[in-house]
Structure 1
Amino acid sequence: MTDSSTTALPPVVPAGAAEVESALATAAAAEHADGHPPFSDQTRALLRRGGHELLLLARADDARSDEAAGAAVVVREGGDLLVELVVHPQHRRRGVGRALAEAAAGHLRAQHPDAVDQGGVVAWAHGTLPGSDRLARAHGLSPVRELRRMRLDAGQAPSSASEPPEGVRLRGFRPGQDDAAWLALNAVAFAEHPEQGSLTQQDLEDRMGEDWFEADGLLLAEREEDGALLGFHWTKHPAAAADEPAAARGPEGEVYAVGVSPQAQGTGLGRALTLAGVHRMLERGARRVLLYVDADNTAAVHLYERLGFVLDAADTQHRLARAD
């Protein structure tokens, strides 16, 4: 969420499927300016397949035809209603953020009064930009969760990878063959995680359809004796600009997700998987690697710090207070 304020609020209108790309173009402009995607991957996937509940657009006379001055999205996330909001960098501090927030709040009060009363509404402030906290608190939301973005520069990476435990081998994902086993592993590895642990076959297919997806970039750890999956490291290393050679990769990779089965925790597999994916991205041209981790997951934070990752930014989740 980003904030802007002025006395005359711009008009906000519900948008249909034809205007999804306009919202995504605005999000891309904000990401380029801020260094943080304002919508999560799951929200973007839901938008593209029409799985969102509401899309609101704010228009301005000087906005480009393929961009909106701002956009707000309402989607379901587990048992909650999630709001994500973005204001185009060229239209900030004009009341766009406030207008979008008020329109989204009005929709939730009208359509989901029970969720509003019971505190079932959350909002993410990606990058925790100035004004996000103020806008959230103005609508009765308080910070409840911090998602840290950590960064590892190529020169700070460990010089060598770590071998997996004895009897475990690493290999690439096989679309269509490993789907069910990977989804089951992901569910148990992230049983306490509200977003990652609830991924479905459709969610997996959405991500496999992204231009950054590579099957070999989803590293699987399997037990040699029976092929059972014990862990994975999903790397995200997008291609470079469209005019670059097809094999070129961008300067920034991401530890998209690292999951380890409960039966393999404490064996060093998480470290081995993390380093294997990091070195794969660095060898393919990444100059830095990012990852996201919950601040209260102290074991993971300490592991990443030992590997050389440092705090780069943070996202904050806000939750609507329950009605008294």
Structure 2
Amino acid sequence: MTGQSLAVEESTTLSPELSGDVLALAVRAGRHDGVKPLSEQTVLQARRLPDDVTTPTSTHLVVRDPETGAVAAYGHVDEGDPGAPSAELVVDPDHRRRGIGGLLLDHVLRRWPQARLWSHGDLQDARRLYSSRNLTVVRELWQMSRPLEGEWSDLPEEVELPEGLAVRPFRVGQDEEAWLELNARAFATHAEQGRMTRADLADRQAEPWFDPQGFLVVEDTTATDADGRARMAAFHWTKVESGPSGSVGEVYVVGVDPNYQGRGLGLTVTLLGLRHLRARGVGTATLYVDGDNAAAIATYHRLGFERMAIDVMYAAGAA
């Protein structure tokens, strides 16, 4: 295989066959590197059938082996934020050390000079590649974890909510729009979470791990929304998946309406979710938090969480 014979294909959708090839490549790379190379959002975008994409915000990049036609590398560019598109790249383990990663990265930087590129696990090969193009780290995303069993199952047996607030499970088919509005308010300044759409939510509801009983909604029984229902004040969406050593629970998303901040709801709903995960028999809880969010990290440290892994984001022009 020679660099001259390689080309980068661009498309806004993937055929079912190509989607399968891309996701299989990601699985192989994840097993080889010990970390998943693509975010959940990218995987869901890669799975979407062409008929399901109404307003494309993603560009899929594919590099094929010119001799076999097999997918040798994949890139994804999310243009949901036009001023700072985010990207992820992955090269099949069997096609590395051949310049394919550099080819793909150079293509992204030519097309999207402001792109911010994720390196999941901050792997040495990725660090070397991005540094060779003078890219620097502009964001860190910590993965933190804590045990939920044995001597570490030190969660309160009861969690009290402020007067007038009550917790219940998410109601599928009823809560979607109200939750999306709350999520947008709670994460108005967040690069990814605040842009979640109805299609993004539907993608996650279709996943095997989705459980409305673990999607805890706190509502204000003294106030109503435009539909005359109790107003959502906060939520804790938990996630449980099977891992190599048993089930792992995730503090998937915790959000509080800005109008209800300052009442300790973030800590309260986090505890409610952790108690739910423990009741499900989960042995370990994980979460993701931005490395510069000192207040949240301090709260999670108090709850027994410690950093276990890190993802970093690279970009050009950063000091």
Question: Please, which moves more after superposition, 277-286 or 19-28?
Answer: 277-286
Aligned residues: 297
The aligned counterpart of 2:106 is 102
Question: Please, which moves more after superposition, 146-155 or 87-96?
Answer: 87-96
The aligned counterpart of 1:83 is 87
Contact 1:77–1:194 (8 Å) recurs in 2: no
Question: Please, which moves more after superposition, 185-194 or 51-60?
Answer: 51-60
Q: 1:277 aligns with which of 273, 277, 285?
A: 273
Amino acid across the alignment from 1:99: L
Question: Please, which moves more after superposition, 208-217 or 191-200?
Answer: 208-217
Contact 1:250–1:285 (8 Å) recurs in 2: no
Determine whether 1:290 maps to 2:296: no
Amino acid across the alignment from 2:305: F
In 2: Cα distance, 1:273 partner to 1:193 partner: 20
Structure 2 unaligned residues grouped into runs of 5+: 224-229
Go from structure 1 to structure 2 and tell me whether the alpha carbon gap of 1:9 and 1:285 turns closer, same or farther (over 3 Å shift): farther
Question: Please, which moves more after superposition, 120-129 or 27-36?
Answer: 27-36
The aligned counterpart of 1:244 is none
Contact 2:108–2:115 (8 Å) recurs in 1: no
Contact 1:74–1:83 (8 Å) recurs in 2: yes
Structure 1 unaligned residues grouped into runs of 5+: 1-5, 242-248
Go from structure 1 to structure 2 and tell me whether the alpha carbon gap of 1:230 and 1:102 turns closer, same or farther (over 3 Å shift): same
Determine whether 1:268 maps to 2:264: yes
The aligned counterpart of 1:233 is 236
Question: Please, which moves more after superposition, 96-105 or 297-306?
Answer: 96-105
Instruction: Compute the displacement of 1:58 (Å).
Output: 4.0
Q: 1:258 aligns with which of 254, 260, 265?
A: 254
Instruction: Compute the displacement of 1:91 (Å).
Output: 4.1
The aligned counterpart of 2:161 is 164
Go from structure 1 to structure 2 and tell me whether the alpha carbon gap of 1:87 and 1:153 turns closer, same or farther (over 3 Å shift): farther
Go from structure 1 to structure 2 and tell me whether the alpha carbon gap of 1:33 and 1:309 turns closer, same or farther (over 3 Å shift): farther
Go from structure 1 to structure 2 and tell me whether the alpha carbon gap of 1:57 and 1:317 turns closer, same or farther (over 3 Å shift): same
Go from structure 1 to structure 2 and tell me whether the alpha carbon gap of 1:10 and 1:129 turns closer, same or farther (over 3 Å shift): farther
Amino acid across the alignment from 2:115: V
Contact 1:147–1:293 (8 Å) recurs in 2: yes
Contact 1:150–1:291 (8 Å) recurs in 2: yes
Determine whether 1:187 maps to 2:184: yes
| SS state at 1:238 partner | strand
Contact 1:128–1:314 (8 Å) recurs in 2: yes
| SS state at 2:121 partner | coil
In 1: Cα distance, 2:179 partner to 2:103 partner: 42
| SS state at 1:78 partner | coil
Q: CA offsets per residue over residues 271-301 of structure 1, 9 Å max, x none?
A: 1211221222222232211110011111111
Determine whether 1:11 maps to 2:10: no
| SS state at 2:74 partner | strand
Q: TM-score, normalised by structure 1?
A: 0.82
Question: Please, which moves more after superposition, 130-139 or 185-194?
Answer: 130-139
Q: TM-score, normalised by structure 2?
A: 0.83
Instruction: Compute the displacement of 1:188 (Å).
Output: 1.1
Instruction: Compute the displacement of 1:231 (Å).
Output: 0.7
